[in-house]
A = this chain, B = another copy of it.
Amino acid sequence: MESFTVRTAARAQFVNVTAEVAGIVARAPPATGACLVQVPHTTCGMTVNENADPDVPADILAHLDRLVPRSTTFRHCEGNSDAHIKASLMGCAVVVPVTGARLVLGTWQAVFLCEFDGPRTRHVQVTLLAGVPS
């Protein structure tokens, strides 16, 4: 398992980490079948979505705020329950196929860390999983 850190700059922010993940995968042995990208946090998540137009991540973040407003009355006293809920809606990990030491992503896909309670320093853990010939 390898890891890297991301310093987020706002309370809510999508950070494209595709290049960092691809760099780790580039050193992967031929038997690699997939790459598990996980954050060991409970107020940020991971997702795969469009990178070409920065309005797409902006729209996702804005709409998640409509669905889970920070101002809702919650019990958890830290005032960041919205971030916990958004983290579970996105999930704390993505699994991306790997062939020939390259991530298999569509033309418009990128791997994003989804910050919901920043700015913070976040850790991203990358685990290579073995494939089998199909």
Interface residues of A (CB under 8 A from B): 1-2, 24, 27-29, 31-34, 36, 38-42, 47-50, 53, 55-56, 58-60, 62-64, 66-68, 72, 74-78, 81, 84-85, 87-97, 99, 104-109, 123, 125-134
Check A40–B109 contact: CB distance below 8 A. Answer: yes
CA distance A88 to B105 in the complex (A): 15
CA distance A132 to B58 in the complex (A): 36
The count of identical subunits is 3
Contact residues of A: prevailing secondary structure? mixed
Known: A33-B130, A131-B127. A55 touches B38 (CB 8 A): no
5 pairs, A vs B, C-beta closer than 8 Å? A1-B33, A31-B132, A38-B96, A38-B104, A104-B125
Of all chain B residues, the one with the shortest Cβ separation from A53 is: B76
Known: A34-B127, A56-B84, A67-B67. A24 touches B75 (CB 8 A): no
CA distance A76 to B2 in the complex (A): 35
